[in-house]
Amino acid sequence: MAGVEQTPYGEHVNAAAIPMPQPAPPLTLRVNFAWALVGNVAGAAAQWLLIVVLARLGNPKMVGAYALALAIAGPAFLLANLHLRTLLVTDVAGQFRLETYAGLRLIAAVLCTLALAASAGFFRAEIRGVLMAVAVWKALEAISDILHAKLQREERMDRIGKSMLARGAALVCAMLAALAAGMGVTAGAWLGAAGSAAIFLYDWAGAGRLLCFPMAVAEVGALFRTAAPLAFSLLFVSVNANIPRYFLAHYHTEREVGIFSALSYLCVAANTFILALGQTSARRLACSFISRDASSFLRHGAPMLLLAAALGMAGLMGAIAGGRPVLSFLYGREYAGESGAFIWLMAAGGAGYMGAAAGCLLSSARWIRPQVPLLGIVTSMTAASCYLLVPSRGILGAAQGQLAGCMVQILLSTVVLVFCCRRQFSRRQR
């Protein structure tokens, strides 16, 4: 019958009666990169400013409580997120429907929040309150992230950039207001969760109110099996970054965790440039890889690697030349006393940028499974190094342990990336 279509679930609907909103035309690569950069810089700046606010209006113990909450909730949500955003953006062949991605993300976010709530009782009251607030805003961010994936696939990074800018501002203002009023870090975290809820509603409206249901159970299961290896690779990435904090908390105090976290956030800031370029180029890299267009893959991938190397070198030189005065200005004299550890952290950051860039290229090529053992080895190296160095050297040992893991990451990632490209692009030659 003309104008009548059958859905995958058997219902017959009048297609002409259903308004089908057309997505806005895609932006240029340069404009998308600019907005992606704005959004990621805003997100990283917000996390860093939260540390600055806690260091200036609070104390290292408050910084440590917040950092530990993030170190617990962050890896859990990275695992639960299953890296569905990358899979959705690079799903050039349309293997799974949009509703399947959104539904799986919603289910995983709810389960992760419940798991963190169950585990919160093992921590003292202040950390427990911050952890629950962080879990709530991470869950809202997780659902927003899949909405961002839809916009990213349509090459509309402007909506994503505005959302991340607003969310970062809301989190910082919430913490600043709470501490200025003397309410403490827990109240600030809950106010931040409320702000994250408001930004989620903005994302929901901007992405066309994407519905998560109805879902086909078999399709959700197939997507989960596809995404699970990439989820574990991301879990290793997050755990690897937080291992020094775990060892510092075990062998020392929350004060050391707070100081280490404040120093390391300056290293994370530069990684936003790599992330922005990776998000902007992911779909084009995926198309180039599938079509075996080596020149296009190199044209979009090489700038990411070069940018990572340049940022790493600049950060290290800056830490050597002026690390102590910068730390004193930003955080205070107590933090400036660890300028030696800051140099080691910036060296680790430079190696981490290169590893992250190589990981973006491998994920765009959908080489997911090889990254799991690779990152497992990296995490084991970081843990072993911190086990040997942190008890006696404290913050300096934590920084050196992180560098050891990052050096292994860049070495193994380079080997796997070269093998991946040679295997894919040599087929066209034959």
20 falls within a domain: no
Backbone phi and psi for residue 366, each to the nearest 5 degrees, phi listed first: 60, 30
Token pair of 119 as six digits: 């585990």
243 falls within a domain: yes
In the three-class reduction of DSSP (H, G, I as helix; E, B as strand; rest coil), residue 250 is classed as helix
Alpha helices (runs of H) in 58-97, residue ranges in sequence order: 60-81, 84-89
Alpha helices (runs of H) in 207-338, residue ranges in sequence order: 217-251, 254-290, 294-330, 333-336
β partners of residue 6: 12
15 falls within a domain: no
Backbone phi and psi for residue 294, each to the nearest 5 degrees, phi listed first: -65, -40
Q: What one-character-per-residue DSSP string does 119-144 give?
A: HGGGS-HHHHHHHHHHHHHHHHHHHH
Sign of CA dihedral 357, 362, 366, 370: negative
Residue 148 near residue 160 (C-beta atoms within 8 A): yes
What is the chain's Cα-based Rg? 22
Token pair of 58 as six digits: 């609070």
What is the Cα 110 distance to its own chain's centre?
A: 19
Range of the domain at 301: 25-429
Token pair of 259 as six digits: 């100081």
Q: Which stretches of the chain drop beneath a pLDDT of 50?
A: 1-21, 429-430
pLDDT score of 4: 41
Residue 203 near residue 163 (C-beta atoms within 8 A): yes
Q: Which amino acid is at 402?
A: Q
345 falls within a domain: yes
3 falls within a domain: no
Q: What one-character-per-residue DSSP string does 353-382 give?
A: HHHHHHHHHHHHTT--TTHHHHHHHHHHHH
355 falls within a domain: yes
Q: ∠ at Cα 396 (252, 241), nearest 5°?
A: 80
As a whole number of angstroms, the distance between CA 102 and CA 155 comes to: 18
Work out how many domains the chain is built from and give that number. 1
Backbone phi and psi for residue 55, each to the nearest 5 degrees, phi listed first: -70, -40
Angstrom distances, CA of residue 410 to CA of 333, 374, 380: 34, 10, 15
Angstrom distances, CA of residue 305 to CA of 120, 299, 310: 40, 11, 9
Residue found by looking up tokens 């973006």 in the block: 360
Residue found by looking up tokens 């290169």 in the block: 354
- Residue 135's nearest CA partner among 69, 80, 191 is 69
Residue found by looking up tokens 């299961």 in the block: 221
> pLDDT tens digit string along 318-330?
999 988 998 888 8
Residue 126 near residue 190 (C-beta atoms within 8 A): no
pLDDT score of 426: 75
222 falls within a domain: yes
DSSP secondary structure letter of residue 17:
G
In the three-class reduction of DSSP (H, G, I as helix; E, B as strand; rest coil), residue 4 is classed as strand
248 falls within a domain: yes
In the three-class reduction of DSSP (H, G, I as helix; E, B as strand; rest coil), residue 184 is classed as coil
Its pTM stands at 0.66
Residues 6+ positions from 127 with CB-CB distance below 8 Å: 65, 68, 69
pLDDT score of 347: 93
β partners of residue 335: none
Residue found by looking up tokens 């810089």 in the block: 41
